Structure 1
């Protein structure tokens, strides 16, 4: 809920006020941009260096909040006598560089940096400002080196006037750092009175130059690793798909090669483990000779009769059997 009470737009936390606060426009310039502009020095026969101020603007209760976090110099737009001539080719190159180095940033104005001691008048560039930087709240930044004066002018509904002051804010502005590293040919003022500031500026550029190089190398390495992983995953998927198709083909071949009995036995292997084993059937073959199974008593008598010297007993037994049968017959008759 606390986020609902934050002011809009979200303002930087660490700021430093330059001059008085303007009541019409709130201008915030990033520290790297401010350092770059104050160290930009015409050299090599130049009388002036011109470029674009890049950033964004937000409105709050009718008050424009302008944030400048980029500054880029334009090529081939200056002539002798501190004159500025914009060409179509120069604008084309400038906008291509903005898209590459400062993405998602729009042009909020322009800057003009002259040699020390040469005070720049905004009236000399008023017509070009209105022609090429149309619309309200467009900035014109004029600087005459580190020891010179700097001033900011802006167009508004009331006309063209000088800002009372602006704010410097601090953040990790990587885009501006990268641009300052790329612009190795930028000349800066080197005077004994400002040697400490120059050394600090150089130190910042050297430190961030290594960071930019390391970051580009890391991005290239990560990009290569991602591509390699994608290739490995794709190849693995293809191999797995081929193996799956081969396994299905082998299953179909094996199923067609197994006999029906073996297949049924394999299918019923688990059920056969819980069932009783089938009973074994004994085949009894009959032998010729009139031999039949008898009881145990009859077998004993038969064995005794077959022993040697038992003929008399057999005869006696036969006689007794006849007598018994005769008696039985006689008894029957008496009845």
Structure 2
């Protein structure tokens, strides 16, 4: 519907039905259709009015609410249009069968209209209740006729439980259901002021609050304040949770590092124990070997492995010490002392030297169960040709005449 100002005919209540008067009516620009609208008869409801009715339905302390609808009957291009631009709550009036408004109720209605609204008349009424049947029976029709008689007077039924609404229009002595209606959007300062007044009277209740258009800037700030406090609490809880998780991670990481360090320390301790045992066993072996004597005198047999140090005799140690002393003196004296020493030393024969070298480099192999001379030759020298050498050096007549635990001299 195009917006603008048009001169149209306005038709009023049944008392003036048939008479018309020309008034200036502003056609709404922003319109939203709900359901299937009848082209011959249209209902336009301002958004604040519909929001007010639905908020009243959110009350839990009351079984039902009654509202008087205000607006204008307007005829546009042979179409009867009902504009609902205001609504008044009937305080203390409960819907029941055979309900008749008293003079006191009507007086309060007209005083409220005079206080808050201008250029409006009563165009209908509304019943609001949770679980309200949306069909009209004879009892509802009788209450409508007794209190809101007149052509095109409107009835709005709103079920706050299912959040559904239905409009009825009275014509031909019947309440006829309308399949749809329009919602239009306007500043509607009069309805806003009325809602704000009710909100101030009911500070503990929320059905009259207007979140879209608060009265003042202070009201906006006060509405934002609780949200800020909630957000601050949520952030604090989040920061606390993150800190706790970080502490747990640090503890787990520290525990893992400590356990690894303990394992490394244990391994080092074991290695040191093994090394100390090896050193001790090596020292015992040297002491046995340096003690001299044959196996018959109780000394332990010692095997010389390749690369190990040979035993140094006491005479050799004396020679070494003597050489060190000589090196500290002057070169000429050193030469004389070395010459004297060499002359004083008895010369060793070739046999003695060979016996000494053989005694210091001889190697042995301990026979294991299942060994033969040929298998030992292959195992140690990777060649069977060493079988005869092993046989000769150990004075064996038969190559298989060896026993487990026997020690063989190696070539």
Normalised TM-score (structure 1): 0.52
Match of 2:175 among 142, 160, 170: 160
State the distance in 1 between where 2:117 and 2:136 align: 27
Q: What does residue range 78-117 of structure 1 map to in structure 2 within 5 Å? A: 78=94, 84-115=99-130, 117=131
State the distance in 1 between where 2:111 and 2:33 align: 33
Match of 2:150 in 1: 135
Match of 1:15 among 10, 20, 31: 31
Match of 2:136 in 1: 122
- 1:46 to 1:138, Cα distance in 2 relative to 1, 3 A: same
Q: 1:82 Cα shift?
A: 8.0
Match of 2:290 in 1: none
State the distance in 2 between where 1:173 and 1:51 align: 18
State the distance in 2 between where 1:163 and 1:85 align: 25
Query: Whose radius of gyration is greater, 1 or 2?
Result: 2
- Structure of greater relative contact order (alpha carbons < 8 Å, 6+ residues apart): 1
Gaps spanning 5+ residues in structure 1: where?
Answer: 190-197, 213-335
- 1:138 to 1:178, Cα distance in 2 relative to 1, 3 A: same
Q: 1:64 Cα shift?
A: 1.2
Match of 2:159 in 1: 144
Task: Select between 56-65 and 147-156 the one with higher mean Cα deviation.
Answer: 56-65
Q: What does residue range 145-294 of structure 1 map to in structure 2 within 5 Å? A: 145=160, 147-157=162-172, 159-184=174-199, 185=202, 202-204=210-212, 207-208=214-215
- 1:211 to 1:122, Cα distance in 2 relative to 1, 3 A: farther
Task: Select between 119-128 and 173-182 the one with higher mean Cα deviation.
Answer: 119-128
Q: 1:159 Cα shift?
A: 3.1
The residue matched to 2:187 in structure 1 has which SS? coil
Q: 1:102 Cα shift?
A: 1.1
Normalised TM-score (structure 2): 0.43
Match of 2:401 in 1: none
- 1:49 to 1:85, Cα distance in 2 relative to 1, 3 A: farther
Q: 1:16 Cα shift?
A: 0.3
Match of 1:55 in 2: 71
Match of 1:39 in 2: 55
The residue matched to 2:62 in structure 1 has which SS? coil
Gaps spanning 5+ residues in structure 2: where?
Answer: 9-24, 220-411
Q: Conserved in 1, the CA contact under 8 Å of 2:155 and 2:167?
A: yes
The residue matched to 2:212 in structure 1 has which SS? helix
The residue matched to 1:128 in structure 2 has which SS? helix
Q: 1:204 Cα shift?
A: 2.7
